[in-house]
Amino acid sequence: MHSLNIYNTLARAKQPFVPIEPGKVRMYVCGMTVYDYCHVGHARAMVIFDMVQRWLRTIGYEVTYVQNITDIDDKIIRRAAENGETIGALTERFIDALHEDAAALGVQRPDHEPRATQYVPQMLNLIDKLEQNGLVYQAADGDVNFSVRKFPGYGRLSGKSIEDLRAGERVSTNEAKQDPLDFVLWKSAKASEPDESKWDSRWGRGRPGWHIECSAMSCTLLGEHFDIHGGGADLQFPHHENEVAQSEGASGKPFVNYWMHNGHVRVNDEKMSKSLGNFFTIRDVLKAYDSEVVRFFILRAHYRSPLNYGEAHLDDARHALTRLYTALKDAQADGEPLDWNEAHAQRFREAMCDDFNTPIAFSVLFDLAGEVNRTASPAAARQLKALAGTLGLLQRDPHAFLQAGSTSDGLDATQIEAGIAARKAAKAERNFAEADRIRAELLAAGVVLEDKPGGVTEWRRA
């Protein structure tokens, strides 16, 4: 098994990956809160950790991949009330949408996809252990809170002391808390909230806090100590910091060995937000761009770096992916298995095993595409397709990809073929001016014609 190095947020360094159980990886990634459609920030996390689990399997690990769904939350309760629908109806609708978006982006389903509402007994059990260990208190408002100052390691993951965190406080003030940094484990029910958002507990009717949900689901499915925990950089504090505190506070064991965080998504170098009007759902993006182009765009930046979203960057990704598919269009892969001893494959594996360095891995794919273009080598075509396949790319028929795309200009495949037929007829009549006019008209509509031997004309979207 090839050695793998992972940047561990907890250590602030790249470290050799050593699984707890040889040959096996247990990985948990924070999923979505399902009250709305997923946006491009969600798309990045989905695609990044799909890439990670694919690569771990590629290099021989047996992976148990868990990604949760948060289906109870203040925003969910509020949105359901605004819509005049039940919480269950709202969350089911957006879970279906989440699955559709993920499938469009080539994201494989996790091995387990727990929903928070299915794990409330495990959450209550975890809170009970924390109470036994003297780490929680019930406040005057009925909420059960975690006492941050009683957990000695608080701040290790975010790299800040409690004093630093207190000075730059990012936690909402609640006068019932003993300390503003304390966080809620069990929220006391409000009379105005629907019954479906309330569960019985020995602390009274209520519902779980957000942080306890992930600890209960991950520890139930993967054990109290597991290999990798992932999520967006925005979750490092307070969510992941709080997960560490409550999980280790309950079990007395180390919680996670390697913490992975993907970088933020920015839109034209600005933070993405609804208030700035630069907020895009996955569905918005897929109306304008092929889903594989979006996956390619996300993966060609290193997962820890910021990702700058914009039409120019997506257009560039489309042209780059077109180059790879064009290389495969006229070269037939030989059908042999991927040869990991071949020079390009070795470079690709070395890059991917260096903290999933996809920019270097992609440069190897373009080198291979250049070789395919020069030599039409079936072996090189096979290596290109197979290596890209480990990232969930280049698995479509090249002609299908090259002819896919927007028809907003009004030209569908039938109209394009009609134009090609008219051009062929014009050439047969030696009316070359008309043939050139048709070619130029198609090009202006974003359609490139390629004349092949034997009088065959192929086309692709520009």
Which residues have C-beta within 8 Å of that of residue 368, sequence separation ≥ 6? Answer: 327, 344, 380, 383, 384, 387
Q: Which residues pair with 28 in a beta bridge?
A: 66, 229
The DSSP annotation for 379-397 comes to HHHHHHHHHHHTTT-S-S-
How far is the C-alpha of 58 from the C-alpha of 4, rounded, in Å? 12
What value, to the nearest 5°, has the Cα angle with vertex 28 and ends 171 and 354? 105
Phi, psi of 14 (to 5 degrees): -75, 135
How far is the C-alpha of 340 from the C-alpha of 365, rounded, in Å? 14
Closest CA to 295 of 264, 317, 280, 265: 317
Q: Is 264 annotated as a binding residue?
A: no
Q: Is 38 annotated as a binding residue?
A: no
The DSSP annotation for 44-57 comes to HHHHHHHHHHHHHH
Q: Is 274 annotated as a binding residue?
A: yes
CA 394, chain centre distance (Å): 19
Spatial contact of 107 and 46, defined as CB atoms under 8 Å apart:
yes
> b vs e for 338-360, b when ≥16 Cβ sit within 10 Å of the residue's Cβ?
eeeebebbebbbebbbbbbbbee
Furthest-apart CA atoms within the chain: distance in Å: 92
Q: Which residues pair with 69 in a beta bridge?
A: 32, 115
Tokens 């009250």 locate to: 35
Phi, psi of 252 (to 5 degrees): 75, 10
How far is the C-alpha of 227 from the C-alpha of 284, rounded, in Å? 35
What tokens appear for 144 in the block?
């059960």
Q: Are strands 270-271 and 265-267 parallel, antiparallel or unpaired?
A: antiparallel
Binding residues for ATP: 274
Binding residues for Zn(2+): 30, 214, 239, 243
Binding residues: 30, 214, 239, 243, 274
